[in-house]
């Protein structure tokens, strides 16, 4: 039995071996972690209860005396071996597993090995990918449908109505702009994700960068009736980072404050040094963008950085929002080994803080 255990320890997935009576004779450390301790001597059916898996084990132990299990055509296996997908309960957790049952090499006597691969994470990733494709298609289809409708109207009923024509062309321009923005942001997001593991190598004049964005958005702040208050932007400072990406981060946060937090009439942009930031285990710079707008209900806060997540889809859409901005922000901040903190209270306003490590050399 010890020799069987030694064999299983070399396998990188949870794996058990059972004897001719389907009692567990060995389990590797990963199997013990998945199914709990003290597996040895237990009937297999008490470890993994799924009927299809139990039948597969019986079949491998006695192929003549047991009906063959129905194989999953997507998971081909050599003769005498069966692989199937089954939901299993392990340490109280439901997992989707790919289970391979094979005869124990005859030198160990009659028995079977059962290898269990947890597919839950891969399955979840696949589901996210499907959701993402569905979201992108929907977001692109909406403006396209509007434009197609207006083209028809312009060809037909509005053909000779100059005023209507101008109005429809304006709307079409806006919808085309929305599609354009969506595609640029999607490209930007995939670029940022592809680079996420490589640390930025530049040095960025952070206060200068913030002043530049504020100067560029000043007309918009004025149009929105928002007074801009700044603090700490007059110092000289360079932080390690990627200038274009950090511009994207703060431009999005400031635009959001102007779009969604304008009701408060004031926006504060602050740059401050933190002597020791516990989350980064060292000195850091904190940039805070704060508004006194309507705020965001607590249940939305953890989801704001999800792709396409918007609190009020209708309102965000009307403001030209794609819901990708904060997802891009999060990935860029991650690439800088920084942190994004979101605090908000309904009726009081919102505060978005980006914390960047002073040095990127370590960690
Ligand atoms: N300062 C803010 N005040 C209130 N809500 C905000 C603020 N910033 C972001 N939000 C909410 O978070 C959502 C996601 O923001 P973001 O990812 O930048 O998308 P977008 O700006 O394209 O709508 C916004 O649609 C909005 O509902
Ligand atoms: Mg935004």
Q: Say yes or no: 148 and 221 in one domain.
A: no
Interval between CA 321 and ligand 1 midpoint (Å): 8
Total H helices, total E strands in the chain = 9, 12
Q: Say yes or no: 361 and 305 in one domain.
A: yes
Determine phi and psi for 356, rounding to 5 degrees: -115, 135
Token readout for 322 is 């794609």
Q: Say yes or no: 99 and 229 in one domain.
A: no
Cβ(316) to ligand 1 under 6 A?
A: yes
Distance, in Å, from the CA atom of 226 to the CA atom of 220, rounded to the nearest integer, reads: 9
Mutate to test the pocket of ligand 1, among 292, 310, 327 (most ligand atoms within 8 A of CB): 310
Interval between CA 192 and ligand 2 midpoint (Å): 16
CATH code of 245's domain: 3.30.565.10
Please report the pLDDT score of residue 62 as a whole number.
92
Q: Say yes or no: 76 and 35 in one domain.
A: yes
Strand partners, 342: 352
Mean pLDDT of 246-255: 97
Token readout for 51 is 């009927």
Cβ(22) to ligand 1 under 6 A?
A: no
Q: Say yes or no: 206 and 69 in one domain.
A: no
Structure confidence by residue, pLDDT tens digits, 165-219: 999 999 999 999 999 999 999 999 999 999 999 999 999 999 999 999 999 999 9
Whole-number percent of the chain with pLDDT over 90? 71
- Nearest residue (by CA) to ligand 1, atom 23, is 321
CATH code of 63's domain: 3.30.450.20
Q: Say yes or no: 336 and 207 in one domain.
A: yes
Q: Say yes or no: 295 and 333 in one domain.
A: yes
Token readout for 107 is 């030198």
> What is the number of the ligand 1 atom nearest to the C-alpha of 309?
14
Residue ending a domain, among 66, 91, 118, is 118
Q: Which helix (H) or strand (E) holds 155?
A: helix 120-155
Residue ending a domain, among 118, 148, 169, is 118
Q: Say yes or no: 161 and 282 in one domain.
A: no
Helices (H), 156-242: 162-195, 206-223
**Could you tell me the pLDDT band of residue 360, with boundaries at 50, 70 and 90?**
low
**Tokens 């997908």 sit on residue:** 85
Please give the residue range of the domain that contains residue 348. 200-363
Token readout for 110 is 């009659």
Q: Say yes or no: 53 and 27 in one domain.
A: yes
Determine phi and psi for 340, rounding to 5 degrees: -115, 125
258: buried, middle or exposed (CB in 10 Å: 19+, 13-18, 0-12)? buried
Mutate to test the pocket of ligand 1, among 289, 304, 341 (most ligand atoms within 8 A of CB): 304
Token readout for 356 is 């960047």
Which residues are within 8 A (CB) of 65 and not within 5 positions of it... i.e. 6 or more apart? none
Q: Say yes or no: 167 and 40 in one domain.
A: no
Residue ending a domain, among 85, 118, 151, is 118
| Three-state DSSP state, 250 | helix
Interval between CA 265 and ligand 1 midpoint (Å): 17
**Tokens 């700490």 sit on residue:** 232
Nearest CA-CA partner of 90 in 6, 17, 14, 18: 14
Provide the CB-side half-sphere exposure for 196 (13 A, CA): 15
267 close to 349: Cβ distance less than 8 angstroms: no
pLDDT at 261 over 60: yes
Q: Say yes or no: 139 and 238 in one domain.
A: no
Which residues are within 8 A (CB) of 94 and not within 5 positions of it... i.e. 6 or more apart? 87, 88
Nearest CA-CA partner of 103 in 82, 121, 117: 82
Mean pLDDT of 48-71: 88
Mutate to test the pocket of ligand 1, among 266, 300, 320, 321 (most ligand atoms within 8 A of CB): 321
Question: Total domain count for the chain?
Answer: 3
Interval between CA 251 and ligand 2 midpoint (Å): 9
- Nearest residue (by CA) to ligand 1, atom 18, is 325
Radius of gyration of the CA atoms of the chain, in A:
29
Interval between CA 142 and ligand 1 midpoint (Å): 20
Q: CB 192: neighbour CB atoms within 10 A?
A: 20
Distance, in Å, from the CA atom of 358 to the CA atom of 276, rounded to the nearest integer, reads: 10
Cβ(312) to ligand 1 under 6 A?
A: yes
CATH code of 191's domain: 1.10.287.130
Distance, in Å, from the CA atom of 177 to the CA atom of 188, rounded to the nearest integer, reads: 16
pLDDT at 362 over 50: no
Q: Say yes or no: 177 and 204 in one domain.
A: no
Structure confidence by residue, pLDDT tens digits, 89-129: 777 778 889 999 999 988 888 999 999 998 888 888 999 89
């Amino acid at each position: 039995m010890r020799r069987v255990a030694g064999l299983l320890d070399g396998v990188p997935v949870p794996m058990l071996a059972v004897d001719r009576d389907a009692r567990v004779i060995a389990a590797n450390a990963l199997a013990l972690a998945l199914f709990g301790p003290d597996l040895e001597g237990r009937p297999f059916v008490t470890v993994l209860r799924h009927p299809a898996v139990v039948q597969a084990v019986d079949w491998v132990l006695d192929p003549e005396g047991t009906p063959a299990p129905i194989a999953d055509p997507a998971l081909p296996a050599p003769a005498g071996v069966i692989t199937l997908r089954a939901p299993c309960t392990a340490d109280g957790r439901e997992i989707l597993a790919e289970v391979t049952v094979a005869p124990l090499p005859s030198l160990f006597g009659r028995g079977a090995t059962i290898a269990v691969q947890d597919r839950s994470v891969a399955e979840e990733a696949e589901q996210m990918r499907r959701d993402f494709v569905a979201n992108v298609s929907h977001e692109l289809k909406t403006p396209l449908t509007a434009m197609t409708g207006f083209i028809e109207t312009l060809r037909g009923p509005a053909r000779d109505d100059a005023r209507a024509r101008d109005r429809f062309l304006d709307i079409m321009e806006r919808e085309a702009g929305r599609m354009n923005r969506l595609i640029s942001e999607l490209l930007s997001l995939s670029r940022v994700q592809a680079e996420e593991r490589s640390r930025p190598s530049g040095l960025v004049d952070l206060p200068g960068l913030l002043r530049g964005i504020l100067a560029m958005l000043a007309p918009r702040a004025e149009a929105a009736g928002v007074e801009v208050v700044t603090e700490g932007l007059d110092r000289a400072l360079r932080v390690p980072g990627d200038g274009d990406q950090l511009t994207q981060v703060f431009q999005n946060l400031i635009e959001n404050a102007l779009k969604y937090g304008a009701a408060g009439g004031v926006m504060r942009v602050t740059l401050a040094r933190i002597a020791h930031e516990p989350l980064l285990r060292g000195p850091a710079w904190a940039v805070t963008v704060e508004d006194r707008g309507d705020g965001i209900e607590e249940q939305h806060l953890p989801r704001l950085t999800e792709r396409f997540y918007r609190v009020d889809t209708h309102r965000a859409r009307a403001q030209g929002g794609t819901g990708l901005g904060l997802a891009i922000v999060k990935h860029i901040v991650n690439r800088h080994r920084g942190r994004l903190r979101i605090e908000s209270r309904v009726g009081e306003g919102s505060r978005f803080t980006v914390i960047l490590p002073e040095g990127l050399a370590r960690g």
